[in-house]
Structure 1
């Protein structure tokens, strides 16, 4: 039996490609809720998936684990279709209310997100009922300082967002800006290890059941990153380059260089790896490694997403 098939009937996971986070649809008699909404360019697809699953029923609630563009990019489209309530992490409330773009992550990562509203917040220790299941909100800083997870002691289920995947976790973004993130990620992994979890629904990838093995891999990777923070910076650049290519499908090295100079998170990562004069060489090195792994295709000065990428 797969981990997904073991989920309660009230919970359905839309496993998405890496441009969009997974969406978790939880339905009970009181309301229909969606945890995380994917990326902006996939918003119509997200809407179609939810409409098909709900039929004539409306979506009542959006819950965002954190406000990276691949987790909240569909908010505005869903809100335009349904007058649904929206809960976001409490620590993000002010910047979303003011739509403070320098403090939101979208411009800093070279990504996009249509402005959306929210009606309430989530804070660690709070409880809410979704899909007929009671969930505890757990703080999950590390990948993102404001991120939260949702844990249900019965049926021993964790919606982990980007704090834990089956094979790793999300980029530790605070460390790019010289702020603490590794220690927080360590604490989050230790907190997960203390929970009684049978199934994890991650932000990316399929739901999985072998939580102990996933945690072992995550602890090992975190130790590797902490041993040389440049590794986190290099990983961040690779992830953000591939993400952009998944969105636009093709771009030139010159346009990638322009994005590196204009997007604060990319710029901060590059500064950890090389002086400004060496950035063109750095990009070519990273692009070469990504091409070798099959993450992109190099055609002269043009970079392309693999044909099979979604």
Structure 2
């Protein structure tokens, strides 16, 4: 987001909404329809008008151990809060100063929240230490833009190895600690280092290389992958894996590999033939209206 704002903050919030909302709404309504048809498939979904409204508006809520109707939407609640915060700060302070002010303001809010017991569930969520992982992403951009991008190759190689070690640690921490109260330390810092390591590899990407282009395509499909992977994995386990009746470490591993491949394929299909066309359609319908209104306000 810091990179996007530095490149162009024009219509920032509008562009982010167009990017995030269509597929999220589609998967939320799919979940709603499946729940109405087969409620036994969903253990942690509570469907009420309030739940549906807050889910669609990215407002955090907690009803009988249930969060958003599409459970994965809990991360998008943080994401949208971050986007709105950026839009607010760049409106007040301008483009580049606004992004820095946003990172500082969010850090201050998290610090205050660590000493204050908010009665509001929404404020408790927005003030959690998880927000610092978004701040860390912004800090990484400025480090990359002003220092790391022009660093020597040996230093960049060292950061790649540090990132690889951090990735191994992330898997270890997930296995040993699970969802720990020290999330920002156990997962946030290693994730920062992983992202840093991948940044050091960016100049080595050759889009003409089929392997590289496939990885880029998977990256482009990552949002669809995030939202759809529970559906694909659950369907595979229930409809295929359980019915085959093969058990043991080898078959479990093969099932894991096959389900991952299936998730990747479905995500690419969803991205290329649903997400991209839908976003293009919405942009073609809304861009002119949005730009004309913006021009009218400026005049």
TM-score by length of structure 1 reads 0.28
* Bigger proportion of residues as strand: 1
* Bigger proportion of residues as helix: 2
TM-score by length of structure 2 reads 0.29
